Structure formats: structure tokens, C-alpha cells
Structure 1
Amino acid sequence: MNVYFPPAMIAATTAASLALASPSAIAEPATYVLDEEHFSMVFEIMHIGYAPVMGMFRDVEGQFQYDEEAKELTSGKLTFKSKSVFTNHDKRDDHLRNEDFLDSGKFPDITFEVTGFETTGDNSGIVTGDLTLLGQTRPVDVDVTLNKSAEYPIGHEEYTLGVTAETTLKRSDWGMTYGIENNLVGDEVRMRFGLEAIRESGWF
């Protein structure tokens, strides 16, 4: 025997089913765009064994896809302009931009593209990505901590994630070997990031 269900009943049943579904079952990744006004990164490299030189890149852009409910980072990319390197010393910065180091004329962009993500705690994880520097691409693991996620209290008032991240790498893995043999410039580069990323409007 065929039973007829009015369209209104079908619609109501569907709505109730969606309401009862778990958030993780219906959650989707949202796109977050880097807030360039609230991005900081510091790198440090040992100088002749005396003390680390600290610097930063002042021109960076990027975005990523993140499902906060499921804690899944599905994709993402950061681009640093190599000419924007800054160590508070003009002569040194010019040297960093030439062929001995970043070769900015030939390689204007340094990119990090997400390839994987592993959750390690309630608000922490390890991002795996490909770092492209001097035209060479190598994998890098970055420790990340989600500090806060909420509507921003001032200014744009959009939903925002606040993140801290850090990693250590060897620049020689990308072919940047100037000063290593005679211990003028260290091989190990320590990097630390602090960033805010804004969820794109129109996401539900």
C-alpha cells in the first residue's frame, strides 16, 4: 500500500533531521584570509657564534581552509616576498637579497603550501607543508597552537582565528650555504609566527 506524505511533512522531517545531526557531521571547511595588519614572524640565525641576528619578512599574504568543528586543516598557502626581508640594518638586508642568500631578483617569492595536518591536543597540531625557497621545494613540519577563535571585538568584527606557530630548519637543505663552512653564518634557522586570520564573509 502506498502512503502519501504531504510536502510540508517531508520538509519538516528533513529540517528536524538536520537539527539533530551532530555539528561534525554537517561542518564544512571555512576559508580564512591572513590579516596582514596582524601578522608577525621572526627568524633568527647565529652570527659567527656570538649572538643570533633576528629578522622578519614584512610583506606576506595567504589563506587556508579550516574546519574548526572537526579540527581539520584541508589546504593553505603563505607567500613571503623575499625583497621584504628586514633585519634593521640596510647593508645587511641588501646582502640578504643578493645571490648569497635569498636571490630576490630571481626568486621574488618564498612559499609554504600545506600538505597535511595532525592534531596533537585540544588547541595544538603539526602542519606539514612544502617550503619553496630558491626554486627548491622541501617538506617542513610546523608546530601550531590555536590561541583564540571568536568574533573580533573591535574594527572589522568578523570571526577570527589567532594562531602561534614555530619551526626550525636548515637553510643548506635549500642550497643556501653562504658562510656555513667558516662558521660566519649559522645553518640553523629558528622561525616563530603570530597571526590572525579572518573568516570570509558569507560562510555559514
Structure 2
Amino acid sequence: MTRLLNRLPRRRARLVTVLALILFAGSAITPDARAEPRSFTLDPAHLHVGFLTEHIGFARTLGVFRDVEGTVVFDEEAPALREIDVTVRTDSVDTGHDARDEHLRSDDFLAVDEYPEMTFTLTEATQTGENTGTITGDLTMRGETHPVSLDVTLNKTGRYPFGDEHYAVGISARGSLKRSDWGMTYGVDNGLVGDRVEIIIEAELIREEE
């Protein structure tokens, strides 16, 4: 239920980097950002990788992953994605309830002892509008890999108005998956926990300056 994103080799950046840059380099990045392959990193103060799933039909449970790492190198002039590595630590799941979080870390769900990371690898990107697009990638979780698609919106690009005034990219992404496809079947048959998991990503990215 919580294994939304997956594991990849470690290098700092973000799942989010992927989302914004692949789709919109040609239409929404300003000229000073268009040159050669550049690296983007996550702004740790503005990252939310979350999920929603049904709880016995009464309400949906909201959770997040607190530890997300990776790297993205993107050629905005091509445009072409040169590199993407994203890793989520499964034991960083947080729903605001200790007992529930421990259950999510158990073999019923994330099995964090055996699978401490999950990864997402981009396979395809399609632009659907001036600032929107869809990305599809391989999500590896609990030792299984299946495709997941996300609808992405590029919210804004430009110089950040505070602090070091870095060049920033802001994106929102939404998608869903069936956790049972990754072997997480606890509570599905009796309706205790929903099988469908909604993915929620809100993030700001910082362009690494040369």
C-alpha cells in the first residue's frame, strides 16, 4: 500500500526532477536554462512524496515517504533526459501513527527488512499540453517491477525570489497503482485496506549552477 515509488541507485535528486524536466523543456524553460545537459536537485524544504488509500471505506489514510534521493541530468535544448536515478527508503514511511507505520513496514506491506529501498525508472514521456504531460516508468517494489504512469503539471520556472535566488522548477504529479500487483494483498479481499493507492507528488527543484 505504501510502496509507491521504487528504488534506484543512489545519487541525490528527485523523482520530481524527472517529472518536470522531461516533459516541458521545449515549451516552458526560459532561455538561460537552455544549453547543455544540467543537473537538478530537490529543494528538501519543498518536497512531498505521498499516498492515499481507503481504510474500511470510512476515510482515506494519507501518508508520505520522508527519505527520497536520486539524480537527474537533463539536456533541455535537445530535449533529452540523460540520466535518472531515484531511490525511496521504504522505512521512511510516515502516516502519523506509530503502530500503523510499523505494520506498513512489515511483510504485509513494504517488507522493509528485505526490501529497504524502492525505485522508479523512467521509460517514456509524452507532452499533453503547454504545461502538462504524462510520464511512464518502471516501479520496482518488493522485488517486482511494473509500469506506473503519472500526470505531471509544470507549475512555474524561474529565479527564486528569496535567499540565493537560484533557478527553480515547481511541479505537481498525480497517479495511482494497485498494490496487489506488487504482492501486497493484505486487507484487499475483506475490504479493510484499499487496493488502489493514489500517488501525490509536490516538489520544487533547484538547478545546479556551474
Report deviation, 1:198: 1.0
Range moving further from structure 2, 90-99 or 119-128: 119-128
Q: Specify the SS of the correspondent of 1:121.
A: coil
How far did residue 175 of structure 1 move?
0.9
The answer to whether 1:171 aligns with 2:171 is no
Q: Does 1:97 align with 2:87?
A: no
Q: Where do 5+ consecutive residues of structure 2 fail to align?
A: 1-30
Q: Which segments of 5 or more consecutive residues in structure 1 lack a partner in the other structure?
A: 1-22
2:115 match: 107
Contact 1:36 1:60 (C-alpha < 8 Å) held by counterparts: no
Q: 1:66-101, CA deviations, whole angstroms, 9 ceiling, x for partnerless residues?
A: 344555545423211111101111000000001100
Q: Name the SS for the 1:157 alignment partner.
A: coil
RMSD of the alignment, in Å?
Answer: 1.8
Q: Secondary structure at the match of 2:186?
A: coil
Change in CA separation of 1:29 and 1:123 when aligned onto 2, cut-off 3 Å: farther
Aligned partners of 1:113 and 1:130 also within 8 Å: yes
Runs of at least 4 residues off by over 6 Å = none
Farther off after superposition, 28-37 or 172-181: 28-37
Tell me, yes or no, if the aligned pair for 1:165 and 1:192 is still in contact at 8 Å: yes
Question: Who is 1:88 aligned against?
Answer: 96
* Structure 2 length-normalised TM: 0.79
In the TM superposition, 1:1-204 aligns within 5 A as 27-69=35-77, 72-202=80-210
Q: Which amino acid aligns with 1:201?
A: E
Identity %: 50
